[in-house]
Amino acid sequence: MYTHEDLTRLQAQSLKMQGWIRQQTFSPENQKTLRRFSSWEVAELIFRINQSTFRGRLAAEPDLPGGEVEPDGRQRWFSLDEINALRRKMKINRKTLMPPRPAGKRAFRAAIANFKGGAGKSTVALHFAHAAALDGYRVLLVDFDPQATLSHSMGLTDVAEDYTVWGIMARDLIRETDRMNTAVTGAASGTALPRRQIPASIRDLGLGELRHGDFIKPTAWSTIDIVPSCANAAFVEFASAQYRHLNPEWSFFAAVSRYLDGLGDDDYDLVLFDCPPAIGYQSMNAVFAADMLYIPSGPGYWEYDSTTSFIGQLAEALEDLSGFGPTFPAGKVSLPKSFAEIRFLMTRYEPGNDLHRAMFDAFRKVFGPHVAEHPIEMTRAVEQSGRFLSSVYEIDYREMTRETWRRARASFDRAYEEFRGSMLAAWDRI
Ligand SMILES: Nc1ncnc2c1ncn2[C@@H]1O[C@H](COP(=O)(O)OP(=O)(O)OP(=O)(O)O)[C@@H](O)[C@H]1O
Ligand SMILES: [Mg+2]
């Protein structure tokens, strides 16, 4: 017979091995880096201008960053920072290359959510983040999934669980409880309200003292930061249930939303959430913080089926929240939760497949204008290459069949552009 002690022993053995493997395999080449982009890509795919116009401008204005020329090549290759410098300095026909952003508003928040596993959530989040960064936006990613696919894809492998959504939630519990207790002490009728105790085992973790920026990590993309996740954060679901019990007035679902409210309005343009394949404390925090829900779904019948149950169960969970007690603290959090936009996005779509086309039609019949017009096509370009998952934007087009790359990139580009259109319209509404 085996108990938790045996599991602990097995885990200790495994951790030793993990540490050893990390030591053996760690080298600077295993750090994720971002490639340079060719003048063809910068002109036609990123700035959407004529290549000759671009070359002409570079030749005429020597203080623009000129990129690097490879020994055997004619093309110039630009880093993301150089692309952003060009974007700031250049105007084409007196038009700016800077992406639109409504004045005086905080960053827009979008959650990529569905409880169906493998629907393409992390792939969509990764590609939208990269496409948005190449579009000139500053992006913050929040990985809500302890599988940490997105964190790994962004090159983060050594993440301590304190600095994940779990840390944000535990910190919020401590801070909110302190705030409520102060309010209880201050209120004349305070005796009616109970004071809540947070046990030393939680306070002593020191999470209450973590600063805002401690949770945000830089990535190989200079304009993309991430609140990462890691496998050890998987117990957040379990811990959160306990935390709720400690303080039933704690609005557990609004912890991340409150955390994001503490960011400067102009620190980022877009905050993107990758959700776990479940409805739980983490995904409720993501959904609650989101201005827009983006629901990816594969093209099969079962995926349609589970997307249907997902929205049903989400609706129930959100309805439950809307009854959150009268002691609910005043602030930026308002109930019932409302979204500025809800969209469905079909992924892994094959245009030549009759079943896929039929499912896409069914989605459009049922969800009408909520369905994104451009599904993301099935492609071999997003299969894992090397140690890190890479997006089609990160893969150098010389490393694969140019047609495969172009086609995949075009599909993600169309989906991103549509996402951007929805975002800009919804941004005005918040
Ligand atoms: N457009 C696509 N073409 C080909 N393969 C894809 C595409 N989108 C996703 N995949 C593959 O499908 C698998 C699942 O994708 P992904 O990890 O993005 O799904 P997920 O919804 O985040 O999964 P989970 O629920 O486990 O978090 C991955 O192996 C991914 O490479
Ligand atoms: Mg995922």
For 273, counting Cβ atoms within 10 Å of its Cβ (0-12 exposed, 13-18 middle, 19+ buried), the class is: buried
Which residue's CA is minimally distant from atom 8 of ligand 1? 120
The rounded Å distance from CA 64 to ligand 2 centre is: 39
Tell the residue number behind the tokens 């960064």, with chain if given: 133
Amino acid at 379: T
Strand partners, 227: 142
Is 251 a pocket residue for ligand 1 (Cβ < 6 Å)? no
For the ranges 148-157, 197-206, 231-240, 272-281, the lowest mean pLDDT is seen at: 231-240
* Cα–Cα dist 303/297, whole Å: 6
The answer to whether residues 270 and 139 touch, using CB atoms and an 8 Å cutoff, is yes
Higher pLDDT, 422 or 325: 422
Q: What pLDDT sits at residue 353?
A: 97
More confident residue, 194 or 418: 418
Q: Is 277 in the pocket of ligand 1 (CB under 6 A)?
A: yes
- As a whole-number percent, the residues of the chain with pLDDT over 90 amount to 67
What share of the chain in percent tops pLDDT 70?
93
Closest ligand to Cα 151: 2
Instruction: Compute the distance from residue 120 Cα to the ligand 2 centre, in Å.
Output: 7
Q: Which atom of ligand 1 is nearest to the CA of 277?
A: 25
Spacing, Cα 139 to ligand 2 middle (Å): 18
Q: What is the mean pLDDT of residues 298-327?
A: 88
For 387-411, what is each residue's pLDDT tens digit?
567 999 999 999 888 899 999 999 9
Ligand 1 contact, 286 CB (< 6 A): no
Q: Is the CB of 155 under 6 A from ligand 1?
A: no
Query: Which phi and psi angles does 2 have, rounded to 5°?
Result: -125, 145
| Residue 114 CA, closest ligand 1 atom number | 21
Q: Report which ligand 1 atom has the smallest distance to the Cα of 123.
A: 18
123 lines ligand 1 (CB under 6 A): yes
What is the maximum alpha-carbon separation in the chain? 79
* 50 close to 43: Cβ distance less than 8 angstroms: yes
| Residue among 122, 126, 353 to mutate when testing ligand 1 (max atoms within 8 A of CB) | 122
CB of 376 within 6 A of ligand 1: the answer is yes
Q: How many CB atoms lie within 10 A of CB 156?
A: 22
Which residue's alpha carbon is at the smallest distance from atom 31 of ligand 1?
A: 383
Nearest to 82 by CA among 45, 36, 34, 137: 36
| 125 C-beta closer than 6 A to ligand 1 | no
Give the pLDDT score at 264.
Answer: 96
Does 421 contact ligand 1 (Cβ within 6 A)? Answer: no
* Rounded Cα distance, 141 and 272, in Å: 5
How far is residue 175's CA from residue 170's CA, in Å, rounded to a whole number?
9
Distance CA 164, CA 276 (A): 14
pLDDT value at 44 more than 60: yes
Least trusted range by pLDDT, from 17-31, 69-83, 123-137, 328-342: 17-31
Quick one: which H or E segment has residue 130?
helix 121-134
Ligand approaching nearest to the C-alpha of 385: 1
> Is the pLDDT confidence value at 9 over 60?
yes
Ligand 1 nearest atom to the CA of residue 380, by list position: 4
| 140: β partners | 225, 271
| Tokens found for residue 383 | 């299969």
Could you tell me the CA-to-CA distances from 1 to 5, 11, 51 in Å, in that order?
11, 17, 70
- Measuring from atom 23 of ligand 1, which residue has the nearest CA? 118
Query: How confident is the model over 77-134, as pLDDT tens digits?
Result: 999 999 999 999 999 989 999 999 999 999 999 999 998 888 999 999 999 999 999 9
Distance (Å, whole) CA 3 – CA 345? 44
The closest of 386, 129, 413 to 274, measured between CA atoms, is: 129
* Closest C-alpha among 309, 252, 262, 261 to residue 282: 252
Question: Which listed ligand is nearest to 123 at the C-alpha?
Answer: 1
- Residue 73, pLDDT score: 76
Q: Pick the residue with more confidence: 237 or 191?
A: 237
The reported pLDDT for the residue numbered 405 is 94
3-state secondary structure of 292: strand
DSSP character at residue 368:
G
Q: In angstroms, rounded to a whole number, what is the distance separating the alpha carbons of residues 419 and 413?
A: 10
Ligand 1 mean position, distance from CA 378 (Å) = 10
What is the phi/psi pair of residue 296, to 5°?
-80, 150
Q: How many CB atoms lie within 10 A of CB 135?
A: 22
Mean pLDDT of 128-151: 96
Is 145 a pocket residue for ligand 1 (Cβ < 6 Å)?
Answer: yes
What residue has token string 């053996």? 24
What is the number of the ligand 1 atom nearest to the C-alpha of 377? 1
User: Please, what is the average pLDDT of the chain?
Assistant: 90
Extract the runs of DSSP E, i.e. beta strands, from 193-339: 217-218, 224-227, 270-274, 292-297
384 vs 419, residue with greater confidence: 419
Minimum-distance ligand 1 atom for the alpha carbon of 376? 1
Q: What is the pLDDT of residue 148?
A: 93
Ligand nearest to the CA of residue 113, numbered in listed order: 1
Measured distance CA(107)–CA(98) in Å, rounded: 16
Cα(414) to ligand 2 centroid in Å equals 21
Q: How many residues does the chain have?
A: 430
Does ligand 1 come within 6 angstroms of the Cβ of 121? Answer: yes
Report the C-alpha gap between 345 and 329 in whole angstroms.
35
Highest mean pLDDT among 29-38, 132-141, 321-330 belongs to 132-141
Whether residue 336 has a cis bond before it, omega within 30° of 0:
yes
Ligand closest in space to the Cα of 143: 2
With a 6 Å cutoff on the Cβ, whether 181 touches ligand 1 is: no
Q: Is 317 helix (H, G, I), strand (E, B) or coil?
A: helix
pLDDT in tens, 314-333: 999 999 988 786 555 555 67
- Give the pLDDT of residue 239: 84
Query: How much distance in Å is there from the Cα of 230 to the middle of ligand 2?
Result: 12
Mean pLDDT score, 258-279: 96
The per-residue pLDDT for range 165-222, each reduced to its tens digit, is 999 999 999 999 998 888 766 665 555 667 888 888 888 888 888 899 999 999 999 9
